[in-house]
C-alpha cells in the first residue's frame, strides 16, 4: 500500500517541478531586464536608492509621531474635562447650601477636599502637558493661577469664618460668576492645548 503511494507521489512532484520551471522560464523571458550603463557611478546609484528610501521613511516617521501626539492630546483634554467636573462639584455644594439656606462645617470641609482633588488633577495635567514643549508652560501656569484665584475667593474669604452658616443671594451669585469665569478659562486652555 505504502509503496503504491510513493509511486504516485514521485511522479506528481516531478510534474509540479516541471510546470514551475516552465512558469519561471516564461516570466524570465518576458521580464525586461535592466542594463547598467557603465558610465554611471555606482555611488550615485546608491545615493539615489537611499534618497528614495528616505523619501518613504520620513513621511512614515512623521505620521507615526503625529498620531502619537494626537492620542496624548486626547488624554490630556479628557483630564481638562475631568477638572471641570471636579470644580463643578464645588459650585454644587454652594448651590445646595443656598437652596437649603444652611451652610454646614461639612460643606466647608467638602469644598476644601474638592479643591485638593482639583489641585491633584491640575498637577497631573501639568506633568503631561510639559511633554508638548513650546507654549505648554504658559498653559500650565495659567491653569494653576485660575484655580488658585477661585480657591482664594472661596477659602480665603468669609466662607472660612465659623460664623458663616448660610449662603445668601449675593454670595451665591458671586460664586456662580467666579465659577463661570474659571470654567471659561479652562475651556480656553483646552482650545490652546488643541493648537499645541
Cβ nearer to other proteins, comparing 84 with 112: 112
Cβ nearer to other proteins, comparing 63 with 158: 158
Footprint of other proteins (CB under 8 A): 109, 112-113, 115-116, 119-120, 122-123, 144, 148, 151-152, 154-157, 160-162
Minimum CB separation from other proteins for residue 111, in Å? 9
Minimum CB separation from other proteins for residue 81, in Å? 19
Among residues 58, 87, 83, the alpha carbon closest in space to that of 193 is found at 83
Cβ nearer to other proteins, comparing 47 with 166: 166
Residue 61: all three cell numbers together: 516617521
Among residues 153, 158, 140, 141, the alpha carbon closest in space to that of 181 is found at 153
Q: Which residues of 118-145 are buried (b: 16+ CB within 10 A; e: fewer)?
A: bbebbeebbebbeebeeebeebbeebee
Minimum CB separation from other proteins for residue 162, in Å? 4
Minimum CB separation from other proteins for residue 60, in Å? 39
Cβ nearer to other proteins, comparing 136 with 151: 151
Q: Is-contact 115 159, C-beta < 8 A? A: no
Amino acid at each position: 500500500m505504502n509503496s503504491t503511494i510513493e509511486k504516485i507521489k514521485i511522479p506528481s512532484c516531478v510534474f509540479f517541478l516541471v510546470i514551475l520551471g516552465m512558469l519561471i522560464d516564461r516570466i524570465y523571458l518576458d521580464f525586461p531586464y535592466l542594463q547598467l550603463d557603465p558610465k554611471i557611478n555606482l555611488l550615485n546609484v546608491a545615493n539615489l536608492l537611499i534618497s528614495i528610501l528616505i523619501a518613504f521613511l520620513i513621511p512614515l516617521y512623521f505620521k507615526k509621531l503625529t498620531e502619537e501626539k494626537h492620542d496624548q492630546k486626547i488624554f490630556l483634554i479628557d483630564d481638562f474635562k475631568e477638572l471641570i467636573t471636579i470644580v463643578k462639584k464645588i459650585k454644587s455644594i454652594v448651590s445646595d447650601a443656598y437652596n437649603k439656606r444652611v451652610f454646614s462645617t461639612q460643606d466647608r470641609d467638602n469644598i476644601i477636599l474638592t479643591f485638593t482633588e482639583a489641585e491633584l488633577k491640575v498637577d497631573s495635567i501639568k506633568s503631561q502637558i510639559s511633554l508638548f514643549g513650546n507654549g505648554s508652560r504658559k498653559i500650565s501656569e495659567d491653569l494653576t493661577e485660575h484655580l488658585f484665584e477661585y480657591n482664594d475667593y472661596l477659602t480665603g474669604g468669609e466662607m472660612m469664618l465659623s460664623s458663616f452658616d448660610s449662603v445668601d443671594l449675593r454670595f451665591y451669585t458671586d460664586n456662580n460668576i467666579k465659577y463661570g469665569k474659571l470654567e471659561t478659562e479652562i475651556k480656553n486652555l483646552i482650545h490652546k492645548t488643541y493648537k499645541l
